[in-house]
Amino acid sequence: MAVEIKEIVIRAIISDASQTDEGNPPLDTRKEQCDVVQECVHQVLKILKKKNHR
Protein backbone atom coordinates (compact mmCIF):
# COMPACT_ATOMS: atom_id res chain seq x y z
CA MET A 1 0.00 0.00 0.00
CA ALA A 2 1.50 3.32 -1.05
CA VAL A 3 1.50 6.35 1.21
CA GLU A 4 1.20 9.80 -0.34
CA ILE A 5 2.06 12.93 1.63
CA LYS A 6 -0.24 15.79 0.68
CA GLU A 7 1.22 18.39 3.02
CA ILE A 8 4.39 18.81 5.01
CA VAL A 9 4.99 21.32 7.77
CA ILE A 10 8.58 22.19 8.66
CA ARG A 11 9.41 24.23 11.72
CA ALA A 12 12.86 25.31 12.80
CA ILE A 13 14.22 27.29 15.70
CA ILE A 14 17.49 29.02 15.02
CA SER A 15 19.28 30.19 18.12
CA ASP A 16 22.62 31.79 18.77
CA ALA A 17 24.58 32.28 21.98
CA SER A 18 25.11 35.96 21.12
CA GLN A 19 21.46 36.93 21.67
CA THR A 20 20.79 39.98 23.82
CA ASP A 21 18.87 39.91 27.12
CA GLU A 22 15.63 40.95 25.40
CA GLY A 23 15.77 37.81 23.26
CA ASN A 24 16.28 39.72 20.00
CA PRO A 25 19.39 38.69 18.12
CA PRO A 26 21.71 41.38 16.77
CA LEU A 27 20.89 42.74 13.32
CA ASP A 28 23.64 40.79 11.53
CA THR A 29 22.44 37.52 13.08
CA ARG A 30 18.87 38.22 11.93
CA LYS A 31 20.23 38.82 8.42
CA GLU A 32 22.03 35.46 8.52
CA GLN A 33 18.88 33.73 9.76
CA CYS A 34 16.87 35.35 6.98
CA ASP A 35 19.43 34.12 4.45
CA VAL A 36 19.19 30.57 5.82
CA VAL A 37 15.39 30.59 5.66
CA GLN A 38 15.45 32.05 2.15
CA GLU A 39 17.84 29.34 0.95
CA CYS A 40 15.67 26.62 2.53
CA VAL A 41 12.56 27.97 0.80
CA HIS A 42 14.45 28.12 -2.49
CA GLN A 43 15.57 24.49 -2.16
CA VAL A 44 12.06 23.27 -1.25
CA LEU A 45 10.52 25.10 -4.21
CA LYS A 46 13.20 23.64 -6.48
CA ILE A 47 12.40 20.12 -5.27
CA LEU A 48 8.64 20.65 -5.71
CA LYS A 49 9.12 22.05 -9.20
CA LYS A 50 11.30 19.08 -10.15
CA LYS A 51 8.68 16.69 -8.73
CA ASN A 52 5.85 18.34 -10.70
CA HIS A 53 7.72 18.03 -14.01
CA ARG A 54 7.83 14.22 -13.80
pLDDT of residue 30: 80
Tens of pLDDT, residue by residue over 12-46, are: 887 766 655 566 666 677 888 888 888 888 888 89
pLDDT interval class at 9 (50, 70, 90): confident
* Confidence at residue 31, expressed as pLDDT on a 0 to 100 scale: 82
**Are 51 and 42 a contacting pair, CB within 8 Å?**
no
Output the pTM of the full model.
0.47
d(CA 33, CA 14): 7
What residue segments make up the domains of the chain, in order of their start?
Answer: 1-17+26-52
Instruction: Write down the pLDDT at residue 4.
Output: 75
